[in-house]
Amino acid sequence: MTGAIIGDYVGSVYEFDNTHDYDFQMITPESSITDDSIMTIAVMDAILQGKSYGESLYYWGNKYPNPPGGYGSAFYKWLKSENPKPYYSFGNGAAMRVSPVGWAFSTLDETLSEAKKSAECTHNHPEGIKGAQAVAASIYILRNGGDKQDVKNFVEERFGYDLSRRLADIRPTHTFNESCMDTVPKAIICYMESSCFTDAIRLAVSLGGDSDTLACITGSIAEAHSHYEMPIELIEAAFNTVPNELKDIFYNFQETIRNGK
């Protein structure tokens, strides 16, 4: 949740101006949350209010129709439809917004079921659903005491992603790709190779490509790692760009989850 917003914020200025420098500037005057964070908070609101995911995504997407970087063209058409229907997408939007599901539910089966629901209102392609489920499951496993190997074992067995590749081998051929099947395994690998939260974000952004979403997903997983701490300066910088009404939803969700409600 927080990790997703930080990753989105840090990656935002590099999405269309990629950097491959690991030591890039993480906080810039142009950095801001994008649609990734707005939709993540929309998922929180759906869970808090007991609304359908589609209803919440539609409401908040239309409330904030022009975020930095914009929405994907298919999702934007969905937002502007009078009767929105799933459009069989396997884009990474299903995975970038799902992190609240990984924190909100008490069993892995429920987490997988809710991740599917959060995806299929738009991304009802099997790969779109799979990407959302893989991210939510990774978070669930880590927040319940699992480790990187547990994540690798489950995700590879359940979803068929190859998490044995190394970033050094991925970098030379990595390109901008907005699909779940490309983004999700690479984001998990960025987390797998990281030594701390900041390292995970740096690895994701410096990989290039769809930097904000790659870092958003990586950050959402890295946050759940038991010994990874998120730097306060990154938290403050990212949340300074979150509208107040969305902050309220975030803090309400965080408090609800903390109290086990």
pLDDT in tens, 38-66: 999 999 999 999 999 999 999 999 999 99
- Nearest CA to 254 out of 231, 227, 241, 235 is that of 235
Token pair of 230 as six digits: 């998120």
Instruction: Give the pLDDT confidence score for residue 66 in this predicted structure.
Output: 95
Q: What is the mean pLDDT of residues 114-137?
A: 98
Residue 58 C-alpha from the chain's centroid: 18
**pLDDT tens-place string over residues 135-190:** 999 999 999 999 999 999 999 999 999 999 999 999 999 999 999 999 999 999 99
Query: Over 90: is that where the pLDDT of 229 sits?
Result: yes
Give the total residue count for the chain: 261
Instruction: Give the pLDDT confidence score for residue 137 in this predicted structure.
Output: 98
Instruction: Give the pLDDT confidence score for residue 258 in this predicted structure.
Output: 82
Confidence of residue 103 (pLDDT cuts 50, 70, 90): very high
The partner residues of 179 in beta bridges, in order of sequence, read 91
Domain boundaries defined on the chain? 2-258
Percent of the chain whose predicted confidence (pLDDT) is above 90: 97
- The matching CATH number, chosen from 1.10.150.20, 1.10.4080.10, 3.40.1010.10, 1.10.10.10, for 2-258 is 1.10.4080.10
Q: Distance (Å, rounded) from C-alpha 122 to C-alpha 108? A: 23
Instruction: Give the pLDDT confidence score for residue 261 in this predicted structure.
Output: 52
Token pair of 242 as six digits: 């979150």
Residue at token pair 């949350």: 33
Kindly state the greatest CA–CA separation across the chain.
47
pTM of the model: 0.98
Token pair of 152 as six digits: 């690798």
Give SS3 for 126: helix
Q: Distance (Å, rounded) from C-alpha 248 to C-alpha 142? A: 26
Confidence of residue 259 (pLDDT cuts 50, 70, 90): confident
pLDDT, the chain, mean = 97
Give the type of residue at 45: D
Exposed e or buried b per residue across 114-148, where buried means at least 16 C-beta atoms within 10 angstroms of its C-beta: bbbebbbbbbbbebbbbbbbbbbbbbbbbeeebeb
C-alpha torsion 171→172→175→179, nearest 10: -50
Residues 6+ positions from 202 with CB-CB distance below 8 Å = 22, 23, 24, 26
